[in-house]
Homo-oligomer: A and B are copies of this chain.
């Protein structure tokens, strides 16, 4: 069986734009899939979604320091470009854009993109500065590449809504697509950070998704939001999570609070909880 051809890699904006301009000149539609590497089936499903929506797929690989807090796992974040490039090629990616930190943030870099509202609660409250780091790097990647469509995972649901907001607000000419969360057989959302779990923690981890499913069922049955949220938090703590940053039902588009009573329309359940060295997040449509 022949091996896949090696994936072309560019590391500068000029090289990226030259490749993209050639494709656009040939009338081809371009998709960008931004990643931080450590790729798993979740990322590869986004590459396939991109393929289905564009003639050419660019993946970016950049572990963005500005979206990690000072006590977070930037240094420990798993990095293996060779492995990632092989997975991307196999999934149908055409080009890998892998800039260095000083290419993205040269010495006098001074600009930030901030999004009020949707970026403030939940992970915005638990990780100060995180979404400003995300919004700024995503704006840069979109403007560096100039894709017709950009694909992000629904696993990072709040991030997806922050990006939708900034793309509309700054008039970035790109269509944003969200890809469904890929899960292990036992329901655990695939995440690069699952690698931090011990075997025992890995067995407890699917309780996050199971808790959200149970909470969604209770909300659909008309139970009050406040009761469902408290029960979900208790269940996570009982399952062995050391800390629950949040488990909340929110309005789907702007993540505004819902009233404490039964839900009256669509909602999104979102949770973040710490298990060992891993901070896991997940979310579910209600």
Interface positions of A (Cβ within 8 A of B): 13, 17, 108-118, 135-136, 139-140, 143-144, 146, 165-166, 169-173, 254
A143 x B165 contact (CB < 8 A): no
> How far is the CB of A268 from the nearest CB of chain B, in Å?
17
Tell me the bound Cα distance from A146 to B17 in angstroms. 15
Question: Could you list 19 further interchain pairs (A-B, Cβ under 8 angstroms) beyond the known A111-B116, A143-B173?
Answer: A17-B173, A108-B165, A108-B254, A109-B169, A110-B115, A110-B116, A110-B118, A111-B115, A111-B135, A111-B170, A112-B113, A112-B114, A112-B116, A113-B113, A113-B170, A136-B170, A140-B170, A143-B171, A143-B172
Tell me the bound Cα distance from A42 to B28 in angstroms. 42
Q: How many identical subunits does the complex contain?
A: 2
Interface of A is mostly: mixed
A110 x B172 contact (CB < 8 A): no
A113 x B115 contact (CB < 8 A): no
Contacts of A143 in B (CB 8 A): 143, 170-173
B111 x A166 contact (CB < 8 A): yes
Tell me the bound Cα distance from A17 to B173 in angstroms. 10
